[in-house]
C-alpha cells in the first residue's frame, strides 16, 4: 500500500482521530446535539488541520525541535482565531450556538498530533492529504454523532441547515413522527451516542478489512 | 529532523509570528463591521420580538439609557433600557429583568412595555429550568410566554398576578409550577419597576434624544 | 465454634440466584398490594408490562450474544428489576414508559456491561433515571392516594388499562386534574417559597409521619426488608448505614431549624428511602464487596440522597445516589480490600 493511501485511509477510518485515537472528545461530545452543529464544527476543524499541516510541513526542515510545539500552537491559534472571526461575521447564528467551541479547536489534540507526527516529518502533499483525511474523519464522526443525537433526541434531521447554507436549506429539515427523548440531547446522551458510534465502527472494522494491528504499526517512524 | 541553527530558527519564529499577526489582523478588519452589524441585527430582532410591532421601520429607533434598580430588577449594575420614541414622545420601553426564584437558577427575561404600562411581549433570554418541564417558557417550545401580551397591572388586577395554582389568572405549567410562578413574579416586578420609574425614564429619554437626534 | 466470614472468592454459596430473587419478590408483595390499594391498578399494569419487556429483552440479548437462555430467563432477576422499576414510576402512565425503562435496564445497564453479575450499575435505577431525564413530564404525573376525604377521582382497572394503552382518559377527566404533586415535591417547593415545614405538613396529602398512603406502602417495604434480613438474603451493613447516612444529617438539621427542614420521620417514610435501603442498594452485584466497603457505600447513598432532596434539583435522589455510589464501588473496593492471609 502506498504511503499516501495509508495516511488517507488512516485519517478517515483506521486511525480516525475521534473514533480510534479518541482525541478531541470535548467538542465531539459537547456540540453534537444536532447534525448541523456537528458538521459546522467538523468543517472548521478540517480547515484548521489541513492548513496547519501544510504550513508546518513546508517549513519542517528549518524547525528546531525545542521551539516546535510553541510554533505549532501559534500557527493553530492564529488560524482558529481567523475562523472564529469569519464564522462570527458570516454565520452569526451558528456561531452563537457553537459559542466557545470554535476557539476551543485550538486545544484539539488531534490537530497537534497531526502536526507532530505527520506534518513535521513528511512532504507538503502528503501532509496536506493526511490533514484533509484526518479532518474529514473527525468531521464524519461529528456528523454521525450529531445525526444520531438529533434523530433520537428531537426526532428531526437536517434541522437548522438554513443557518449554514442560507434560507433555502430550511426545506431540508425532515420531521419524524415522534418527539424524541431528551436524554439524547443532554450530556449523558452524548456519551451513550459516542459509545454506539464507537461500537458500530468497531463492528464494521472487525467484519471488513485487515486487522487493526497491522495499521497501528505503520505511521510515525521516529527520526 | 535535519540539524538546524539557532539563527534561522529565530528568523522563522519571527516570520511566523508576523505572518500570524497579519492574518489575524486581516480577518479582524474584514469581519469587524459585519460582526457589529450582526450584533445590532440580533439586538433589534430581540427588541422587535418583545415589542410585537410587526413593522420595524421607524419604530425601532431606540434610545438606550442606563438605569439601575437592584431591588426591583435584580441587577446590581445599571441595565440598558431601550426607549422607543415616536415623534419625540416615548412609546414603549424594553428592558431586562431577573426572576430570581427559578427552579434551578435565576431566569433572565426581556420585557417590552408600552407607555401606558401594557406588556407588549416577554421573552426568556437565559434559564436553567428542567429540560422537558420548565423549558416550555421558551417561545420556541410553547406559547405559554405569550399569555402576558396585552396584560398590565390593571388587567388583571394586582392580586390576580399569580399562577392559577395560587389563585391567580395565569396558566401554570404542569409539573413546573415553580418555574411558572417565578416568571409571573418577574413580569409583575418589571411592571412595578416601570410604573415607579416611567416618568424618569421618559424624561431621560427625551433629554437623550435632544442631545443626539440621530440614534445609533 | 465460630468461623470468620469474609468476602469471596469462596466455594459456591448456598443461596442460589433464583432463591434470592424469589425471596426478594415475596418481600415486595405486601408493599405491591398496598400500592395497588392506594394508587389503583396502574402499578399492576406497569409491573406486567415491565416484566414482559424485561424477559423479552433478556431473551433477545442472550440470543444475540449466543448464550443459553433457559437459566437466565428463569432466575427471576429480570422480574425483580421490573418490580423495582414499577415501584419507581408513577402508576398512571402510558405503557411505553415501563416498557422503555425495562428495556433500557436490561439491554443497556445489564447486558452491555456483560450480563448478570457484571453490571456496574443497578439496572432498575439506570432504567428509571433514563426515563426521568428523558420524559420528565410523564414521570412527574403522580395521582393522589385513595383516601376517603381527599378530593380524589378513582379510576378503575379498565380506565387504567385504556390510559396505559391509548393515552385517553374517560370523558370528564384530564390528566392535569387527576395528578397531584407528591409529598416530596410539596415539601421541596414549599420550603423554597418560604413556607415553614409545619405549614406544609398541614396539607391534606400528609398523614401521621409522611405522605398519606406512602407511609403505609413504605412500612410494608420495611417489613419486606426485615424478612430479607431475617432470611439472610441481605446483610445489615448497607441498609443500616444508608438509613444512618440519611437520618443523621436529617435529624441534626431538623433540630437546628425545624421550620426549614423536614423531620427525619418524613425522610424515612417518603420516596424511595426504604425501598432503596433494603431492595435497591443491597443489589449484591453493584454494591461494594467487603463489609467495611458496604458500610461506606451505604452511608454514601444515604448522605447523597439527603443532599439531593434538600439542596438538589430533584425532589428525591435515591436513584442518582445509588448510581453515583455504584460508580464509586471500584474505588471503595480498592481501599477496603481485606488483607490476604500471610501477605502485606
For residue B58, is pLDDT > 60? no
- Residue A55 belongs to some domain of the structure: yes
Q: What is the complex's ipTM, to 2 decimals? A: 0.73
Determine the pLDDT at residue C11. 59
CB proximity C16 to B under 8 Å: no
For residue B74, is pLDDT > 50? yes
| B107-114 and B119-126 beta bridge pairing | antiparallel
Confidence of residue C308 (pLDDT cuts 50, 70, 90): very high
Q: CB-based burial of residue C171 (10 Å sphere; 0-12 exposed, 13-18 middle, 19+ buried)?
A: exposed
For residue A221, is pLDDT > 50? no
In this complex, how many residue pairs, one in chain B and one in chain C, have their CB atoms less than 8 Å apart?
Answer: 29
Determine the pLDDT at residue B48. 81
Question: Smallest CA–CA separation between C106 and chain A, in Å?
Answer: 15
Chain B partners within 8 Å of C203 (Cβ): none
* B170 SS3 class: strand
Identify the residue with better confidence: A221 or C306: C306
> What's the CA gap between B96 and B113, in Å, rounded?
11
Question: Smallest CA–CA separation between C110 and chain B, in Å?
Answer: 27
* C239-293 pLDDT tens trace: 999 999 999 999 999 999 988 899 999 999 998 999 999 999 999 889 998 899 9
**Domain spans of chain C, in order of start:** 17-180
Confidence of residue A208 (pLDDT cuts 50, 70, 90): confident
B99, B100, B119, B97: which is closest to B110 by C-alpha?
Answer: B97
Contact call for residues B103 and C188 (beta carbons, < 8 A): no
Confidence of residue B60 (pLDDT cuts 50, 70, 90): low
- Residue A223 belongs to some domain of the structure: no
Determine the pLDDT at residue B49. 82
Question: Smallest CA–CA separation between C297 and chain B, in Å?
Answer: 28
Confidence of residue A79 (pLDDT cuts 50, 70, 90): very high
Mean pLDDT throughout C199-215? 84
Determine the pLDDT at residue C200. 85
* A127-171 pLDDT tens trace: 999 999 999 999 999 999 999 999 998 888 888 888 888 788 888
Residue contact C135–A182, C-beta within 8 A: yes
In this complex, how many residue pairs, one in chain A and one in chain B, have their CB atoms less than 8 Å apart?
Answer: 71
With a pLDDT cut of 90, the percent of chain B lying above it is: 10
Least reliable range by pLDDT among B5-9, B37-41, C10-14: C10-14
CB proximity C137 to B under 8 Å: yes
Instruction: Please provide the average confidence, as pLDDT, over all residues in chain C.
Output: 88
A138, A171, A177: which is closest to A31 by C-alpha?
Answer: A138
Identify the residue with better confidence: A215 or C322: C322
Chain C partners within 8 Å of A186 (Cβ): 133
Determine the pLDDT at residue C281. 94
Count of domains observed in chain A: 1
Which residues, 6 or more positions from A73, have their beta carbon under 8 angstroms from its beta carbon? A106, A112
Question: Smallest CA–CA separation between C163 and chain A, in Å?
Answer: 19
Residue contact C108–A192, C-beta within 8 A: yes
Determine the pLDDT at residue C269. 92
With a pLDDT cut of 70, the percent of chain A lying above it is: 93
SS (HEC) of chain A: CCHHHHHHHHHHHHCCCCCCCCCCHHHHHHHCCCHHHHHHHHHHHHHHHHHHHHHHHHCHHHCCHHHHHHHHHHHHHHHHHHHHHHHHHHCHHHHHHHHHHCHHHHHCHHHHHHHHHHHCCCCHHHHHHHHHHHHHHHHHHHHHHHHHHHHHHHCEECCCHHHHHCHHHHHHCEECCCCCCHHHCCHHHHHHHHHHHHHHHHHHHHHCCCCHHHHHCCCCCCC
Residue contact C108–A181, C-beta within 8 A: no
Determine the pLDDT at residue A222. 46
Question: Smallest CA–CA separation between C155 and chain B, in Å?
Answer: 20
For residue C80, is pLDDT > 60? yes
Instruction: Say which of B17, B27, B42 has its CB closest to residue A74.
Output: B17
Question: Smallest CA–CA separation between C99 and chain A, in Å?
Answer: 14
A interface mutation test: which of B25, B26, B28, B38 has the most A CBs within 10 A? Answer: B38
Chain C partners within 8 Å of B177 (Cβ): 181, 189
The whole domain housing A55 covers 2-21+31-208
Torsions phi, psi for C337 (to 5 deg): -60, 130
* C88-115 pLDDT tens trace: 999 999 999 999 999 999 999 999 888 8
- Residue A132 belongs to some domain of the structure: yes
Instruction: Say which of C135, C176, C189 has its CB closest to residue B132.
Output: C135
> What's the CA gap between A74 and A69, in Å, rounded?
9
CB proximity A200 to C under 8 Å: no
Chain C partners within 8 Å of A198 (Cβ): none
* C126-163 pLDDT tens trace: 999 999 988 888 888 888 888 766 666 678 888 888 88
Contact call for residues C117 and C13 (beta carbons, < 8 A): no
Residue contact C134–A181, C-beta within 8 A: yes
Least reliable range by pLDDT among A29-33, A34-38, B128-132: B128-132
**C-alpha C91: how far from chain center:** 14
For residue A70, is pLDDT > 60? yes
Question: Smallest CA–CA separation between B188 and chain C, in Å?
Answer: 17
Chain C interface residues (partner A, CB cutoff 8 A): 108, 130, 133-136
Mean pLDDT throughout A28-48? 90
Confidence of residue B215 (pLDDT cuts 50, 70, 90): very low
- The number of residues making up chain C comes to 344
Residue contact C140–B175, C-beta within 8 A: yes
For residue B8, is pLDDT > 80? no
> What's the CA gap between B50 and B110, in Å, rounded?
7
Determine the pLDDT at residue A99. 78
Determine the pLDDT at residue A3. 80
Which one of A36-50, C134-148, C163-177 scores highest in mean pLDDT? A36-50
Residue in chain B nearest A92 by alpha carbon: B38
Neighbours, chain A (3 or more CB pairs < 8 A): B, C
Chain A partners within 8 Å of C319 (Cβ): none
Q: What is the side-by-side strand order in the sheet with B89-99? A: B63-67, B79-86, B89-99, B107-114, B119-126
Determine the pLDDT at residue A219. 52
Residue contact C136–B175, C-beta within 8 A: yes
Chain A partners within 8 Å of C130 (Cβ): 183
Identify the residue with better confidence: A134 or B211: A134
CB proximity A209 to C under 8 Å: no
> What's the CA gap between A59 and A119, in Å, rounded?
9
Confidence of residue C8 (pLDDT cuts 50, 70, 90): low
Confidence of residue C40 (pLDDT cuts 50, 70, 90): confident
Instruction: Say which of B104, B130, B178 has its CB closest to residue C136.
Output: B130
> What's the CA gap between B179 and B104, in Å, rounded?
9
Question: Smallest CA–CA separation between A11 and chain B, in Å?
Answer: 23
Confidence of residue A7 (pLDDT cuts 50, 70, 90): confident
For residue C26, is pLDDT > 70? yes
In this complex, how many residue pairs, one in chain A and one in chain C, have their CB atoms less than 8 Å apart?
Answer: 13
A11, A14, A32: which is closest to A147 by C-alpha?
Answer: A32
Residue B10: how many other CB atoms lie within 10 Å: 12
Determine the pLDDT at residue A30. 86
Residue in chain C nearest B102 by alpha carbon: C192
Chain C partners within 8 Å of B131 (Cβ): 136
Identify the residue with better confidence: C131 or B103: C131
Residue contact B175–C141, C-beta within 8 A: yes
Determine the pLDDT at residue C276. 94
Residue contact B27–A186, C-beta within 8 A: no
Chain C partners within 8 Å of B132 (Cβ): 134-137
Least reliable range by pLDDT among A32-41, B161-170, C312-321: B161-170
Chain A interface residues (partner B, CB cutoff 8 A): 59-65, 67, 71, 74-75, 77-79, 81-82, 85-86, 88-90, 92, 96, 120-121, 182, 185-186, 223
Chain B partners within 8 Å of C140 (Cβ): 133, 175
> What's the CA gap between C263 and C248, in Å, rounded?
11
Residue contact B21–A81, C-beta within 8 A: no
Instruction: Say which of B16, B20, B35 has its CB closest to residue A88.
Output: B35
Amino acid at each position: 500500500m502506498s504511503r499516501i493511501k495509508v495516511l488517507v485511509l488512516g485519517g478517515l477510518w483506521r486511525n480516525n482521530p475521534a473514533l480510534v485515537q479518541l482525541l478531541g472528545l470535548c467538542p465531539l461530545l459537547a456540540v453534537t446535539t444536532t447534525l448541523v452543529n456537528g458538521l459546522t464544527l467538523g468543517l472548521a476543524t478540517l480547515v484548521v488541520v489541513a492548513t496547519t499541516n501544510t504550513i508546518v510541513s513546508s517549513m519542517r526542515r528549518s524547525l528546531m525541535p525545542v521551539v516546535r510545539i510553541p510554533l505549532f500552537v501559534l500557527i493553530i491559534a492564529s488560524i482558529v482565531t481567523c475562523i472564529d472571526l469569519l464564522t462570527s461575521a458570516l454565520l452569526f447564528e451558528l456561531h452563537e450556538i457553537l459559542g466557545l467551541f470554535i476557539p476551543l479547536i485550538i486545544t484539539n489534540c488531534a490537530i497537534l498530533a497531526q502536526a507532530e507526527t505527520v506534518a513535521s516529518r513528511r512532504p507538503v502533499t502528503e501532509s496536506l492529504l493526511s490533514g484533509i483525511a484526518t479532518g474529514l474523519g473527525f468531521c464524519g464522526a461529528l456528523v454521525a454523532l450529531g445525526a444520531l443525537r438529533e434523530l433520537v433526541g428531537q426526532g428531526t434531521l437536517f434541522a437548522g441547515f438554513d443557518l449554514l447554507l442560507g434560507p433555502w436549506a430550511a426545506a431540508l429539515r425532515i420531521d419524524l413522527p415522534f418527539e424524541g427523548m431528551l436524554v439524547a440531547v443532554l450530556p449523558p446522551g452524548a456519551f451513550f451516542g459516542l459509545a454506539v458510534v464507537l461500537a458500530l465502527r468497531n463492528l464494521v472494522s472487525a467484519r471488513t478489512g485487515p486487522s487493526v494491528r497491522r495499521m497501528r504499526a505503520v505511521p510515525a517512524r521516529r527520526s | 529532523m535535519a540539524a538546524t541553527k539557532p539563527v534561522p530558527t529565530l528568523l522563522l519564529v519571527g516570520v511566523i509570528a508576523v505572518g500570524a499577526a497579519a492574518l489575524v489582523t486581516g480577518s479582524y478588519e474584514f469581519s469587524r463591521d459585519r460582526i457589529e452589524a450582526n450584533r445590532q441585527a440580533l439586538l433589534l430582532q430581540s427588541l422587535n420580538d418583545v415589542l410585537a410591532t410587526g413593522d420595524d421601520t421607524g419604530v425601532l429607533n431606540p434610545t438606550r439609557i442606563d438605569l439601575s434598580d437592584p431591588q426591583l430588577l435584580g441587577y446590581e449594575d445599571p441595565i440598558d433600557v431601550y426607549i422607543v420614541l415616536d415623534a419625540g414622545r416615548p412609546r414603549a420601553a424594553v428592558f431586562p429583568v431577573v426572576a430570581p426564584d427559578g427552579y434551578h437558577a435565576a431566569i433572565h427575561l426581556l420585557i417590552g412595555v408600552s407607555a401606558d404600562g401594557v406588556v407588549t411581549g416577554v421573552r426568556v433570554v437565559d434559564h436553567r429550568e428542567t429540560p422537558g418541564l420548565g423549558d416550555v417558557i421558551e417561545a420556541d417550545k410553547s406559547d405559554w410566554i405569550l399569555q402576558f401580551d396585552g396584560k398590565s397591572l390593571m388587567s388583571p388586577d394586582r392580586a390576580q398576578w399569580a399562577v392559577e395554582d395560587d389563585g391567580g389568572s395565569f396558566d401554570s405549567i404542569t409539573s413546573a409550577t415553580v418555574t411558572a410562578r417565578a416568571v409571573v413574579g418577574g413580569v409583575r416586578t418589571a411592571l412595578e419597576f416601570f410604573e415607579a420609574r416611567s416618568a424618569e425614564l421618559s424624561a431621560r429619554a427625551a433629554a437623550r434624544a435632544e442631545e443626539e437626534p440621530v440614534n445609533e | 465454634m465460630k468461623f470468620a466470614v469474609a468476602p469471596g472468592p469462596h466455594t459456591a454459596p448456598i443461596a442460589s440466584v433464583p432463591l434470592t430473587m424469589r425471596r426478594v419478590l415475596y418481600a415486595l408483595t405486601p408493599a405491591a398490594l398496598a400500592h395497588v390499594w392506594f394508587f389503583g391498578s396502574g402499578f399492576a399494569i406497569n409491573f406486567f408490562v415491565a416484566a414482559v419487556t424485561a424477559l423479552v429483552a433478556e431473551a433477545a440479548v442472550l440470543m444475540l450474544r449466543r448464550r443459553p437462555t433457559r437459566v437466565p430467563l428463569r432466575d427471576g432477576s429480570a422480574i425483580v428489576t421490573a418490580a423495582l422499576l414499577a415501584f419507581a414510576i408513577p402508576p398512571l402512565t402510558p405503557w411505553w414508559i415501563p416498557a422503555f425503562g425495562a428495556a433500557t435496564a436490561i439491554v443497556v445497564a445489564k447486558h452491555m456491561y456483560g450480563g448478570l453479575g457484571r453490571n456496574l450499575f443497578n439496572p432498575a435505577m439506570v432504567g428509571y433515571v433514563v426515563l426521568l431525564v428523558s420524559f420528565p413530564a410523564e414521570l412527574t404525573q403522580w395521582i393522589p392516594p385513595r383516601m376517603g376525604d381527599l378530593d380524589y377521582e378513582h379510576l378503575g382497572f379498565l380506565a387504567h388499562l385504556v390510559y396505559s394503552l391509548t393515552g385517553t382518559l374517560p370523558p370528564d377527566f384530564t390528566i392535569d386534574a387527576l395528578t397531584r404533586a407528591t409529598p416530596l415535591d410539596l415539601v421541596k417547593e414549599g420550603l423554597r417559597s418560604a413556607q415553614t415545614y409545619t405549614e406544609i405538613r398541614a396539607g391534606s396529602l400528609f398523614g401521621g409521619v409522611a405522605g398519606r398512603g406512602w407511609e403505609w406502602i413504605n412500612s410494608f417495604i420495611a417489613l419486606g426488608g426485615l424478612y430479607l434480613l431475617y432470611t439472610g438474603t441481605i446483610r445489615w451493613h448497607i441498609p443500616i448505614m444508608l438509613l444512618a447516612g440519611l437520618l443523621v444529617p436529617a435529624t441534626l438539621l431538623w433540630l437546628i431549624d425545624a421550620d426549614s427542614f423536614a423531620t427525619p420521620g418524613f425522610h424515612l417514610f417518603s420516596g424511595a428511602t426504604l425501598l432503596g435501603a433494603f431492595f435497591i442498594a443491597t443489589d449484591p452485584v453493584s454494591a461494594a464487596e467487603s463489609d467495611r466497603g458496604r458500610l461506606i457505600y451505604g452511608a454514601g447513598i444515604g448522605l447523597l440522597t439527603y443532599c439531593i432532596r434538600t439542596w438538589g434539583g430533584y425532589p428525591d435522589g435515591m436513584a442518582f445516589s445509588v448510581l453515583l455510589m455504584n460508580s464509586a464501588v471500584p474505588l471503595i473496593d480498592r481501599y477496603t480490600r481485606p488483607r490476604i492471609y500471610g501477605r502485606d
